[in-house]
Amino acid sequence: MKLFEGIRVLDLSRMLEDPDGGDPMRSMGPPFLPDGESAYFLAINRNKKSLALDLHRERGREVFYELVRQADVVWENFRPGIMERLGLAYSKLWSLNQRIIVCSISAYGQEGPYRDWPAFDLALQAMGGAMSVTGEPNGRPVRMGLPMADLAGGMFGAFAVAGALFRRERTGEGGQIDSGPTAGSPFRWARATPRWSRTRR
């Protein structure tokens, strides 16, 4: 048996959304496969089923509501407030399915002074402090080669969803998760902070 066998996730996450041409990840490359599709897009969307819905229209929302009634998790990374404007607030989704778990991934969280700031990995690495411990000694901060803030946001969100599913088995209740790339910053500092406190380097 697979670890999450039978769990249905409605994934609303997106990157570089372009209203004129859809998601440019579909054409990002190289490498491209023989049929012209982006290997990158396929790699990060493997094993998913795709469905195009216009959530600004009532018909699109009704289809999504029906999917929510059958789902376990809704995963989204819109800016804070977008889900509410689309008619997809947690309270609405909960009214359709009290066992639903909604994980919202945003740059700086759903609350707080930076909630409306958009950001990509570079800004998040800087704000989270990761760039201050990369590069040459006494040099300028350097971005990590991997999109570590983006990857960490997804990883910590997935951990939280797994925990929420476990809790649901005990309580029968779903829940709402507020996570993001900066949420894991203290964890990533676990080695750097003690070293700095001893060596000031």
Residue of 96 and 111 predicted with greater confidence: 96
Residue in the block written with tokens 């570590």: 148
**Cβ(58)–Cβ(65) below 8 Å:** no
| Domains annotated on the chain, with CATH | 9-22+51-199 (3.40.50.10540)
Kindly tell me if the per-residue pLDDT of 90 is higher than 80: yes
| pLDDT tens sequence across 47-70 | 888 889 999 999 999 999 999 999
% residues pLDDT > 90 (the chain): 37
Give the catalytic positions in this structure.
150
Rounded distance between C-alpha atoms, residue 126 and residue 32, angstroms:
32
Residue with tokens 């991997």: 146
Task: Determine the pLDDT at residue 61.
Answer: 97
